[in-house]
Amino acid sequence: MNETMQETWQPHIDAAVCTGCGDCVVVCPTGALAISGGVAVVLDPDACGYCGLCEPICPVEAVSLPYKIVVEDSAWPIS
SS3 68: strand
| Alpha carbon of residue 41 to chain centroid | 9
Instruction: Report the nearest approach of ligand SF4 to the CB of residue 31 (Å).
Output: 8
Taking the least distance from each CB to ligand SF4, the nearer of 2 and 30 is 30
**Which helix (H) or strand (E) covers residue 27, if one does?**
helix 23-27
Taking the least distance from each CB to ligand SF4, the nearer of 52 and 75 is 52
- Rounded Cα distance, 71 and 75, in Å: 7
Interface contacts to ligand SF4, rule CB under 6 A: 11, 13, 18-24, 27-28, 30, 32-33, 40, 48-54, 57-58, 60, 62-63
